[in-house]
Every structure is written in C-alpha cells, then in structure tokens.
C-alpha cells in the first residue's frame, strides 16, 4: 500500500518513523479553496491538519467537490509543485484528471472527511516511501520549444530555421503549452516548469527615433524638429539617428532576455552595418563625438572608437546588464540570466570594466512608471488557487516594482450552460442552477424558483415566501462571514479567519433558534472586526470606485446609493427591511456594509420566524415567460426563463460578479501589491458567477 | 560550559516558540506538534527550483541561522551565563542582526520565483524603517548604562527597569524587533495571503526546516535583547537568575508571536511612513529625554 506520489527510497528504519510523522503532521492545500469547502459544509479547521498557503509546504492535496474542468490543468500544476511524498484526498470530487487518481476518496460530508483523513493517515504511514517512483506528467506541465527570431519577435516557428525577414538563425525558446499555472513563478519539482515567456514589453529601440529629428537620449518618446532641451529631464536633445543607432544595440540586448544566449554572436555581426565614421565617442554619452581619443567632458570616461560602441552594442555594457537584470527579474520563466555573460565579456572596450552595468542603457526602452522611473516589469500570476483571493479567479498582475501597472482578472471556472439540453424538467433546472453556484446555492435556487413561478403564474403562499426570504438572508450571513474569513486569511488577521469560518459553518444549515443562539457571537465579531487595530489603516481609501462605475450588491451600496433587489419585495418590507447604504466607496465602506447587512439579516430572520429552503414550484404543463430578480449576497442576480408545456426551454442569467469583475482593473491600477490584492478581495467575486 | 548551557536553552526556547507559533497560526496548541513536523520535513523532498541561484538559495537560511546565533552570543541569561560578554555587546547584537536583511534578500532572490523575490525586496525596502528604530533606542539604553556591554546594561537596571525609565524606547524597540523578525502584523516578507509564503515560498524539506529554525532563533535573540535592554534581564526576586531570564524571554517572545493574530497586516506604505516620520522622531526625542533624565536624576 503506497501513495501515488511517494518519495523515492526503501521503507526501513528511520523512514518508518518519518512516515509516521508525516501521517501525523498533515499539511494540506485545498482545492478549489477553503472558502468553497466551508460553503459545502466541510470543516477543515477542526480536522487536525494544518492548512497552508502554498503547495510547496503541503503534503496533502484535498479536492473538495467536483472540480470545474477549467481548473483541472491548474490543479495538476499545483500537484506538481508539491514536494514528495504527496497524497490526494478527494471529497466527492468525481473525475479529477489530469491529476492522478486520488489516494483516498470519500463522500463530501463531515463524516467523509473524518474517515477519509483516517484512511489517508494509514496509507501515508505505510507507503510514504517506495523504491520505484514514477514521474507525474500532464499536458499542462509540458514545455514546448518554439523558435523565434531575436530581431522579430512576431516570427514564431515550430522548427529551427532562418527568419524570413532578416535571415537570422531562429533561436529556441521554452513556452508552456498552457499559458498559466496555479502558482506562477513556482518551479516544479523535477519536471520543468512551464511558464509563458511573459514580456511586459517588447521595446525595440529602432521604433523610437523619428527620421532626422532630435530626441532625448533618456526619453525616446520626446521628439523635436530642432535641437534643444528635453522637457522631461532637461538633457540636451541628440540627433535621432545617433540615439537610434546606439539604442539599436540595446534593443537587441533587451530583446535577448527571452532568448537563448547563443544568439548573441549573431548580433554583433549584424550591427556592424551601423558602424560610424571612425570618430571617438563616449560609451555613456553618444552625443559626445570627438575626432581624437580622450576623455568624455561629461563623465570623464575614456572615449572609444564609435564603431566599437555600435558594433558591440549588445556587448559588455548593455548585453550584460540586459541579461543579468532581465533574465532574472523581468523574465521569471526561468531563463538562465547568467549563462549569457561569458561570450560578452570578451568584447571588452577600453575604459569600461568588462562587467560594467549601465542602468540608463538597461532601462532606456522600457515603459515608464507613473512616477517617471523606469523599472523592470514582471507579470505575476495570482490564482486560481491563491490564498486570500477567490478560488477559481486568475488574477494576472503586471508589476512595476511592487506597483500594479496592469491587471487582468479572469474566471477559470468557465461558464456552464444553464440548460443541459433543449428542454429540462423544472426540478432539474432548479437543482442545476443551485449546484452551479457553490458559494450561494440557496439564493440561486430561490431565484430559479421565483422566475419559474412568474413564468407559470403561480404564487407561493405568504408563509412560504417569508421562509424562503429567511433562507436567502441566512445565506447572506454565511456568505459575508465567509468573505470575512477569507479577508482575515489574506490580511493575516488569523483570529478573524478562524472565528468567522467557524461561525459560517454554524450558521449555514441552522434553523431560527440555532441562528438566534449564534446571533450574539456574530454581532460581537462584526463589532470587533471593525474596531480592530490597523483595520482602518489597512482598508481606508483602498479600492475606491466612483459613483458612475457600474457595480452591484454591497460594492454598489457601500458607495452611497444604488439599488437592492429587496426594496421592492413586499415580503421583505413586511419583515422590516430597509435598504442600508454607506458613503465612502472604498474597501472599508464595503467591510462595514457587509457587517451592517449581517446585522440586518439577523433581524430579518428573527422576524420571519421560520427558514425553509425554496421548494420547486409545482407547474403543470404551463407555458409562459417570466423574469425574477433576487439580491444574492454579492448583488442583484436576475433570471429569465421560458416554459413550454411545463418544461424549461430557455433561460438567461445575469449575475453580480459579471458586473463587479470589471472593476478589478480600476481598483488595482497603480496600487501597491498588497493593496491591490485587498482591493480585489473587497469586491467579493465569485468566479462561478462569471458568465460573460 | 556556559556555551553549552546557552545553546541547550536556545534549543529548548526555539521548540517552545515553535509550539506557540503553531498556535498563533493554526489555532491548535500541541506540545508534540513541532517535533512531528520537523521529523516529517526531514523526509520530504528538498526541491531546488529550476534556474535558481544555487549559492544564494542554499546560503540564505544558513546565514539567517548564523546571524541569529551570533546575536544570541551576547544575550546574558545570568551574570555568568553568557557566551561572550563583549565590551561592545549591544553594538555587536545590532551588527549581527544586520545580516538578517542579507539572508532574506538571498533567500528571496535565490529560488527565482516572483513571490519570493518581491518578498525579499520588500524587506530591503523596510530596512531603514526598522534598523533605525533598533539602533536609536539601544543608544538611549547605553547612555543610561554608560556601557555597551549587555551585562552592564542589565546591571544598570537594578534600581528601575528601563521599560519604566524609557517606555517610549521600549515600545519603539519592540515594534522594530517585530519588523526585523518579520512577525505579524509586520510580516510583509512572508505574508501568506499576499505572497503565498514569500521568502519561504520555495523552500521545502530540510532547507525549510533550517529556515524555520533560524527564524525561531532570531525571534529568541530579539526577545532576549528586549529583556536585556528593557526588562531587567535576569533581575528578579526569589527565583534564580536564569529562571527570570527564561520566563521573561519566553513571555516577550510569545507576545510578539501572538499579537499579530488579532489584527490585519499593516500596509507597506503606512509602515514606512510611520517608521520614518513618527518612529525616528520619537526615537530622537527618547534619546534627548533619557539624556536629560540621566543628567538630572541619576538612578
């Protein structure tokens, strides 16, 4: 009995003790995430294991519930990042390929978790080591080698050859067959880590200069017809050609960051055509030109023959800088930045240290930050399984230093069709919609029922409506507590993470009496969160959104105004509902808004007196169309359905996350990394809801 | 002899801290937990990230451990129980801890991963924020003791502990110490929810065990420094000197480890702004006030 991901080695002596220790000390990474697990009623906090934030520190991968197809490749990457011995526990997960078969499978219940973990401990204690271990392979892990021209990055071929544009030999480059992994930047154990050659910029210097014009050596975008000073830095403008031919070399060095170092030899030759008249010039100040050797009047460096500067453009100065710097920092796909040095150092120029690095040359053609500095930009993927971000959301941040220069948020869960065929039975449709949204199943069940009732023209009775409203309110409390727990995890407020998570599990399936017993604890938690030290400092003025940006739910109400689908509902009015709004529109206002809503929902549930999950309406061969709106925990969702002969034949859903996900770019722009992540978290996105 | 005793108590202290940290992070108190965890780490694959800077990657955790051990060398557990009573002990402590920064940058850069690298640079960015607030309060402590020897500093507190004599310095020093040991809420370089473990993110197996141990030693060294400089070191009635040191150090370390559990992590920009603008001014004011008191009422 061994586990699939056993560590190599015979099972004897001390290894038995180590295996026993591993079985005792389970460190788990949860897929899709702890928040989804809690929504499904799985209490991992009390399962005698430690949840960790990176697969590198885990020896157990727990898959909770069915894994959406869009997340499976990322799951395989996550598994590959775990050190051996590694085990998989699948709780009601079904098909998890390309992950290997689970070492232990159990049903998705608390009892299932208990027995599954007990089995797993036995398996690990007995089989953490094995003499022959196989490699884990999955299509998502494959690295494809493609060939590209160092001069023309748009040329990409599957086989080696020459560039059709310039005839240069194409150079190999590694690329992932899938563009994105779970935790980007993590290298995989043994297997080569795929990673997109993420280039924030493909700056080629030759684009910069205009013909015959004057331009600033520091700011290539500054172009003038006459000589003068640069409006940005005050330097003297230089003839564009000069800058251009000089920058050319740099352009290469820069472009090389993504290419194999072998290509550099080719370059030096290429650039010879740019050779000048044999004058002397300063390697740092191309505008200094002299007929005789000497010192640069600006920096005192020895002047060098102009040809040398140009032909060795990508040489010691730039090339080295370009490689040392870029290969490492900018391009995390893991090109060896150091391998490139050897070849260059030979081409030493008089007066320049062989390893001289010029920041000016290195960064000249890179895009500028908002503060005017030029830094290396790196593109870092966060998610889809990043602790503190919504599970299933892939957030790609282009970082300029530690400031976000650009962001992209995509749901990897993927929208599933609302209908599984041309027509569906009403009960199946309701069930399908509820299971599609694991983070708020009750709300979507209520929404489906309401839309069908409108379409069929049936009215549930007063009591049923109240009980249904109470069920949605209960889910709102649970969902907001879940958000608080996730926020606690992200911001390192671990007491909050533990407490809110426990309360969520307690509230989730509770009846009115059960909620009443927790109400005091929930209100205390909500007060304590808002009063916690550093909380205001952490969230105030973070992720502000304007009055006119489209938003939904607490995000919208927290900036003063907006709409709540509950306002028009007579049932809720009857229960004493009043729309709560807050001014601010920042992450702090959103936190307070959610805390307010929790308190209000507690009151509404107490007023309703009964909680019942909505029952599928009885529609008997009716035809018709109807639309319903409901305020889910994340905002207003609306559903249109068309019934024909008592079957659902058409359905169309709008969700709040579809609206709010568009805000990611606004709220992360020019934010420090930590602030940007809090900003994204403050939107409470559900990747399962993304349909557009 | 005293070296052996200090090292043994260091090992015991590191284990006790591991127990407390486990509680602070995962919420369960288990006396045997860290032992099992350490044993389990020994058997795990120790991965070397692809295209890593091997030298930095391997040396980072070791250098961190060395820095911590050097700092511990000048912490007195009792008048005679100290590895080396340097005349410049307080300065030496500061010099040893300067290598924490180097080690963390190496550990961040080494594995060639974005999260670790950002974490390393973050720590570099905070350098002045905590380093000034370590040095300046120590200056005021040395002013009172008229010595940089840690033993002398403890002895100078016989009448009144420095925590009462210069409370402002105490607060600044503890905050800066937490920043230096990257403890929550100042845990920007490992920030679980932001950088998935940061500098620790790429370490596995034995290397991770060394990194964790090194961090415990750093925390112990800083708690020891706090006790030495402000809480009267081994001074105390009834119990033997070493027992007072042990109790005080463990209580301080436990407090430093657990306070972050009850608040969110500070924002990087705020941390820097507060340290530079408020912290350094207060530290200067502290030196001035202590100077005046030392001249006027010599106790």
One-character DSSP codes across A313-354:
TTTIIIIIHIIIIIIIII-TTT--TTTTHHHHHTS--TTS-T
Q: Is the pLDDT of residue A353 over 80?
A: no
Specify the pLDDT at position A481: 94
Transcribe B211-235 into DSSP letters: HHHHHHHHHHHHHHHHHHHHS-TT-
| Start-to-end CA span in chain B (Å) | 34
Set of chain B residues whose Cβ sits within 8 Å of the Cβ of A329: 117
The answer to whether the CB of A188 falls within 8 A of the CB of B50 is yes
CA distances from A66 to A72, A107, A653 (A): 10, 11, 22
Which residue in A24, A129, A492 is closest to B265 by CB distance?
Answer: A492
Specify the pLDDT at position B92: 92
SS3 percent helix, strand, coil of chain A, rounded to 5, is 40, 15, 45
Count of helix runs (H) and strand runs (E) in chain A: 22, 23
Set of chain B residues whose Cβ sits within 8 Å of the Cβ of A25: 33, 36-37, 39-40
HSE (side-chain half, CA atoms, 13 Å) at B103? 24
Provide ipTM, 2 decimals.
0.91
Q: Quick check: bond before A284 cis, omega within 30?
A: no
Please judge whether A21 and B39 are an interchain contact, meaning their C-beta atoms are less than 8 angstroms apart: yes
Count CB neighbours of A643 within 10 A.
Answer: 26
Q: Token pair for residue A680? A: 């994204």
**Is B34 in CB contact (< 8 Å) with chain A?**
no
CA distance A490 to chain B (A): 4
Q: Is the pLDDT of residue A11 over 80?
A: no
Q: Positive or negative CA dihedral for A257, A81, A95, A661?
A: negative
Specify the pLDDT at position A222: 61
Reported confidence tier of residue A217, pLDDT bands at 50, 70, 90 = low
Three-class SS of residue B206? Answer: helix
Which residue in A129, A492, A498 is closest to B260 by CB distance?
Answer: A492
Q: Is the pLDDT of residue A645 over 80?
A: yes
Reported confidence tier of residue A213, pLDDT bands at 50, 70, 90 = low
Which residue in B42, B184, B195 is closest to A18 by CB distance?
Answer: B42
Nearest C-alpha neighbor of B175 from the set B85, B80, B95, B252: B252
Specify the pLDDT at position A559: 85
Q: How far apart are CA A587 and CA A484, in angstroms?
A: 12
Specify the pLDDT at position A478: 94
**Is B201 in CB contact (< 8 Å) with chain A?**
yes
The answer to whether the CB of A111 falls within 8 A of the CB of A424 is no
- Beta-bridge partners for A171: A148
Reported confidence tier of residue A233, pLDDT bands at 50, 70, 90 = low
Burial level of A269, CB count in 10 A (0-12/13-18/19+)? Answer: exposed
Compare A270 and B148 and report the one with higher pLDDT: B148
Please judge whether A538 and B37 are an interchain contact, meaning their C-beta atoms are less than 8 angstroms apart: no
DSSP state, residue B182 = T
Which stretch of DSSP H or E encloses residue A91? strand A87-91
Residues 13-32 of B with CB under 8 A from A: 22, 24-28
Q: Which of A156-160, A420-424, A627-631, B240-244 comes out lowest in average pLDDT?
A: A156-160
Q: How far apart are CA B245 and CA B225, in angstroms?
A: 11
The answer to whether the CB of B174 falls within 8 A of the CB of B226 is yes
Set of chain A residues whose Cβ sits within 8 Å of the Cβ of B193: 53, 387-388, 489-492, 677
Please judge whether B36 and A495 are an interchain contact, meaning their C-beta atoms are less than 8 angstroms apart: no
User: 0.80 exceeded by the pTM?
Assistant: no
Over residues A15-46, the pLDDT tens digits come to 888 888 888 889 999 988 899 999 998 888 88
Q: Is the pLDDT of residue A192 over 70?
A: no
Query: What dihedral angle (degrees, nearest 10) is formed by the CA atoms of A674, A675, A677, A682?
Result: 140
The answer to whether the CB of A39 falls within 8 A of the CB of A47 is no
Please judge whether B44 and A188 are an interchain contact, meaning their C-beta atoms are less than 8 angstroms apart: no
Please judge whether B36 and A188 are an interchain contact, meaning their C-beta atoms are less than 8 angstroms apart: no
Return mean pLDDT, chain A. Answer: 75
Over residues A488-528, the pLDDT tens digits come to 999 989 999 999 999 999 999 888 889 999 999 999 999 99
Specify the pLDDT at position B38: 87
The answer to whether the CB of B82 falls within 8 A of the CB of B93 is no
Which stretch of DSSP H or E encloses residue A309? helix A306-311
Sole residue written with tokens 């550099």: A264
Specify the pLDDT at position B136: 93
Please judge whether A493 and B265 are an interchain contact, meaning their C-beta atoms are less than 8 angstroms apart: yes
Please judge whether B114 and A189 are an interchain contact, meaning their C-beta atoms are less than 8 angstroms apart: no
Set of chain B residues whose Cβ sits within 8 Å of the Cβ of A376: none
The pLDDT of A382-408, averaged and rounded, is: 86
Count CB neighbours of A320 within 10 A.
Answer: 24
Over residues A443-466, the pLDDT tens digits come to 999 999 999 888 888 888 888 888
Q: How far apart are CA A29 and CA A574, in angstroms?
A: 45
Please judge whether B268 and A672 are an interchain contact, meaning their C-beta atoms are less than 8 angstroms apart: yes
Which residues in chain B come in under a pLDDT of 70?
A: 299
Q: Is the pLDDT of residue A188 over 60?
A: no
Specify the pLDDT at position A243: 38
Q: Quick check: bond before A437 cis, omega within 30?
A: no
Count CB neighbours of A365 within 10 A.
Answer: 22
Specify the pLDDT at position A178: 41
Specify the pLDDT at position B58: 86
Q: Best residue in A674, A675, A679, A680 to probe B by mutation, most B CBs within 10 Å? A: A674
Set of chain A residues whose Cβ sits within 8 Å of the Cβ of B203: 56
Please judge whether B50 and A192 are an interchain contact, meaning their C-beta atoms are less than 8 angstroms apart: yes
Set of chain A residues whose Cβ sits within 8 Å of the Cβ of B266: 534, 537-538
Specify the pLDDT at position B141: 92
Set of chain B residues whose Cβ sits within 8 Å of the Cβ of A534: 185, 263-266
**Is B206 in CB contact (< 8 Å) with chain A?**
no
Which residue in A18, A185, A332 is closest to B43 by CB distance?
Answer: A18
Those residues with Cβ within 8 angstroms of residue A178's Cβ, 6 or more apart along the chain or in another chain = A73, A139, A140, A194
The pLDDT of A283-298, averaged and rounded, is: 70
Set of chain B residues whose Cβ sits within 8 Å of the Cβ of A335: 51
Q: Token pair for residue A497? A: 């993470």
**Is B277 in CB contact (< 8 Å) with chain A?**
no
Q: What are phi and psi of A28, to 5 degrees?
A: -115, 140
Q: Token pair for residue B89? A: 């002990």
Sole residue written with tokens 């020019």: A670
- Beta-bridge partners for B16: none
Those residues with Cβ within 8 angstroms of residue A280's Cβ, 6 or more apart along the chain or in another chain = A289, A290, A291, A292, A293, A294, A303, A304, A305, A306
Nearest chain B residue (CA) to A185: B113
Q: How far apart are CA A481 and CA A594, in angstroms?
A: 9
Which residue in A59, A492, A535 is closest to B187 by CB distance?
Answer: A492
Over residues A300-340, the pLDDT tens digits come to 667 766 554 433 333 333 333 333 333 333 333 333 333 33
Set of chain B residues whose Cβ sits within 8 Å of the Cβ of A490: 193-194
CA distance A488 to chain B (A): 7
Those residues with Cβ within 8 angstroms of residue A134's Cβ, 6 or more apart along the chain or in another chain = none
Q: What are phi and psi of B37, to 5 degrees?
A: -60, -40
The answer to whether the CB of B47 falls within 8 A of the CB of B116 is no
Which residue in A54, A193, A335 is closest to B196 by CB distance?
Answer: A54
Q: Is the pLDDT of residue A80 over 80?
A: yes
The pLDDT of A348-360, averaged and rounded, is: 52
Percent of chain A with pLDDT strictly greater than 70? 72
Reported confidence tier of residue A265, pLDDT bands at 50, 70, 90 = very low
Q: How far apart are CA A429 and CA A445, in angstroms?
A: 9
Specify the pLDDT at position A230: 64
**Cβ contacts from A onto B, under 8 A:** 190
**Is B171 in CB contact (< 8 Å) with chain A?**
no
SS3 percent helix, strand, coil of chain B, rounded to 5, is 70, 0, 25
Please judge whether B193 and A677 are an interchain contact, meaning their C-beta atoms are less than 8 angstroms apart: yes
Specify the pLDDT at position B10: 87
Transcribe A210-279 into DSSP letters: PTT-EE-SS-TT-EESS--B-TTT-PBPEEHHHHHHHHHHHHHHHHHTTS-GGGHHHHHHHGGGG--SS-
The pLDDT of A275-286, averaged and rounded, is: 59
Over residues A101-160, the pLDDT tens digits come to 888 889 998 899 999 999 989 888 888 787 777 777 777 676 667 777 777 767 777 777
The pLDDT of A90-102, averaged and rounded, is: 84
CA distances from A298 to A121, A228, A234, A656 (A): 71, 17, 15, 60
Q: Is the pLDDT of residue A676 over 80?
A: yes
Reported confidence tier of residue A374, pLDDT bands at 50, 70, 90 = low
Nearest chain A residue (CA) to B271: A537
Residues 42-81 of B with CB under 8 A from A: 42-47, 49-53
């Amino acid at each position: 009995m061994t586990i699939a991901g056993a560590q190599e080695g015979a099972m004897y002596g001390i290894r038995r003790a180590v295996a026993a220790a591993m079985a005792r000390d389970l460190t788990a990474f949860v897929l899709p995430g702890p928040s989804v697990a809690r929504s499904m009623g799985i209490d991992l906090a009390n399962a005698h294991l430690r949840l960790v934030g990176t697969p590198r520190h885990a020896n157990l991968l727990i898959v909770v519930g069915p894994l959406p197809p869009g997340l499976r490749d990322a799951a395989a990457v996550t598994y590959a990042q775990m050190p051996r011995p590694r085990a998989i526990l699948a709780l009601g997960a079904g098909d998890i390929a390309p992950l290997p078969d689970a070492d232990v499978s159990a049903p998705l219940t608390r009892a299932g978790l208990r027995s599954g973990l007990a089995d797993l401990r036995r398996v690990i204690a007995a089989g953490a080591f094995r003499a022959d271990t196989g490699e884990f392979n999955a299509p998502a892990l494959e690295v494809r080698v493609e060939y590209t021209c160092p001069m023309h990055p748009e040329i990409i071929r599957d086989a080696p050859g020459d560039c059709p544009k310039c005839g240069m030999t194409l150079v190999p480059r590694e690329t992932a067959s899938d563009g994105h992994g779970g935790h980007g930047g993590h290298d995989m154990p043994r297997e080569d880590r795929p990673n997109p050659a993420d280039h924030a910029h493909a700056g080629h210097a030759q684009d910069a200069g205009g013909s015959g014009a004057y331009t600033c050596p520091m700011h290539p975008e500054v172009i003038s017809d006459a000589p003068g000073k640069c409006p940005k830095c005050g330097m003297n403008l230089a003839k564009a050609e000069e800058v251009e031919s000089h920058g050319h070399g740099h352009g290469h060095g820069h472009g090389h960051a993504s290419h194999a170092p072998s290509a550099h030899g080719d370059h030096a030759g290429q650039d010879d055509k740019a050779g000048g008249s044999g004058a002397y010039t300063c390697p740092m100040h191309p505008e200094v030109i002299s007929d005789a050797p000497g010192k640069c009047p600006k920096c005192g460096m020895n002047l060098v023959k102009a040809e040398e500067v140009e032909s060795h453009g990508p040489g010691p100065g730039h090339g080295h800088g370009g490689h040392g710097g870029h290969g490492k920092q900018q391009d995390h796909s893991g090109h060896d930045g150091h391998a490139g040095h050897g070849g260059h150092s030979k081409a030493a120029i008089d007066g320049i240290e062989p390893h001289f690095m010029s920041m000016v040359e290195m960064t000249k053609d890179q895009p500028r930050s908002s503060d005017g500095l030029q830094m290396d930009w790196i593109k870092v993927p966060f998610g889809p399984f990043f602790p503190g971000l919504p599970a299933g959301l892939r957030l790609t941040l282009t970082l300029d230093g530690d400031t976000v220069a650009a962001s992209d948020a995509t749901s990897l869960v993927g929208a599933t069709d609302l209908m599984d065929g041309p027509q569906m039975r009403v009960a199946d449709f309701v069930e399908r919609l509820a299971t599609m949204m694991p983070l708020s199943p009750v709300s979507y069940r209520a929404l489906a029922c309401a839309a069908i009732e409108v379409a069929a023209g049936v009215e549930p009775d007063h009591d049923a409506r109240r009980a249904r409203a109470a069920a949605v309110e209960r889910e709102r409390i649970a969902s907001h507590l879940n958000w608080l727990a996730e926020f606690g995890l992200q911001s390192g407020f671990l007491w909050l993470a533990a407490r809110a998570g426990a309360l969520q599990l307690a509230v989730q399936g509770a009846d009115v009496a059960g909620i009443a017993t927790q109400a005091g604890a929930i209100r205390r938690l909500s007060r304590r969160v808002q009063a916690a030290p550093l909380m205001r400092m952490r969230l105030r003025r973070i992720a502000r959104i304007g009055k006119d940006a489209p938003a939904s739910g607490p995000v919208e109400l927290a900036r003063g105004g907006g709409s709540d689908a509950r306002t028009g509902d007579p049932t809720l009015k009857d229960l004493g509902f009043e729309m709560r709004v807050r001014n601010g529109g920042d992450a702090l206002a959103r936190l307070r808004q959610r805390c307010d809503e929790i308190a209000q929902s507690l009151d509404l549930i107490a007023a309703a007196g009964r909680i019942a999950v909505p029952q599928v309406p009885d529609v008997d061969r009716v035809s018709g169309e109807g639309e319903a709106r409901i305020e889910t925990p994340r905002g207003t969702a609306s559903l249109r359905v068309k019934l024909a002969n008592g079957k659902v034949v058409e359905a169309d859903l709008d969700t709040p996350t579809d609206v709010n996900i568009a805000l990611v770019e606004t709220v992360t722009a020019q934010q420090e990394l930590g602030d940007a992540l809090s900003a994204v978290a403050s939107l409470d996105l559900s990747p399962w809801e993304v349909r557009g | 002899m005293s070296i052996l005793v200090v090292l043994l108590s260091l090992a015991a202290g590191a284990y006790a801290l591991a127990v407390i940290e486990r509680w602070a992070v995962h919420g369960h108190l288990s006396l045997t937990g860290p032992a099992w965890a350490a044993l389990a780490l020994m058997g795990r694959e120790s991965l070397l990230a692809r295209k890593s800077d091997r030298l930095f990657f391997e040396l980072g955790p070791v250098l961190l451990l060395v820095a911590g051990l050097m700092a511990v060398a000048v912490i007195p557990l009792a008048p005679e129980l100290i590895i080396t009573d340097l005349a410049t002990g307080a300065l030496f402590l500061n010099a040893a801890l300067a290598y924490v920064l180097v080690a963390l940058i190496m550990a961040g850069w080494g594995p060639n991963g974005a999260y670790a690298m950002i974490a390393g640079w973050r720590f570099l960015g905070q350098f002045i924020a905590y380093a000034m607030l370590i040095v300046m309060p120590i200056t005021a402590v040395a002013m009172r003791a008229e010595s940089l020897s840690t033993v002398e500093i403890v002895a100078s507190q016989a009448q009144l502990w420095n925590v009462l004599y210069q409370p402002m310095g105490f607060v600044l020093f503890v905050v800066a110490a937490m920043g230096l040991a990257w403890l929550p809420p100042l845990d920007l370089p490992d920030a679980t929810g932001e950088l998935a473990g940061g500098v620790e993110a790429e370490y596995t197996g034995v290397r991770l065990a060394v990194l964790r141990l090194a961090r415990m030693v750093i925390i112990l060294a800083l708690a020891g420094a706090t006790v030495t400089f402000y809480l009267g070191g081994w001074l105390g009635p009834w119990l033997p000197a070493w027992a007072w040191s042990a109790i005080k150090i463990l209580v301080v370390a436990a407090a430093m480890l657990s306070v972050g559990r009850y608040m969110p992590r500070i924002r990087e920009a705020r941390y820097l702004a507060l340290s530079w603008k408020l912290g350094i001014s207060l530290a200067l004011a502290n030196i001035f006030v202590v100077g005046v008191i030392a001249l006027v009422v010599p106790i």
